[in-house]
Amino acid sequence: MKGRVMAHFLKPVGTKEKNMAEEEGAVDTKRVEFAKGREPKIREGHILILFASGSQKLITYLSVVSKIQHNPENEDFPYFVHTKDWAPEYSKKWWTYNNTLGSLASAHLAANPTNKLAATKVLNETTFATFIYGKSSLELNTDFAYSLINTIKAGGK
């Protein structure tokens, strides 16, 4: 991993037409797919923080363990990576926790008023919620990413 910078990405699971099912085993944490369009800038060693597109609840955090791959037979989600789930117990019951992105972004900004939520864009809790809607992924500010990861590690407490 020499010369590689670790990046953290927020990744929605589900679509506005098909929300993430709130049941055990509903999310595949070994393979994550990305929507058609531009190839994602996700790389091996990056961290993905998954959230349910409908409820915007945190699902888990994963490390990418493969290069981005392309499956031309999947027209809607042709790109994918293999991953390792770092919070498998949390991800089995993610919907039971009230860890929504909006409230977590608000709490983070209240504790760190000069901090950014995204790596390259200045977003407050309102513009953050609007900006992530419909995105394939968003690179997060490292401090905010660790705040989300620590929430997952704490088991939703």
Whose tokens are 């977590």? That residue is 104
The reported pLDDT for the residue numbered 85 is: 94
Positive or negative CA dihedral for 85, 90, 91, 92? Answer: positive
Token pair, residue 14, equals 């589900």
At the topology level, CATH places domain 8-152 in: ph1033 like fold (3.10.590)
Rounded Cα distance between 101 and 128, Å, is 9
Angle at 92 between CA 16 and CA 96, to 5 degrees: 70
The reported pLDDT for the residue numbered 157 is: 53
pLDDT in tens, 28-42: 789 999 888 878 889
pTM of the entire structure?
0.88
* 86 or 56, greater pLDDT: 86
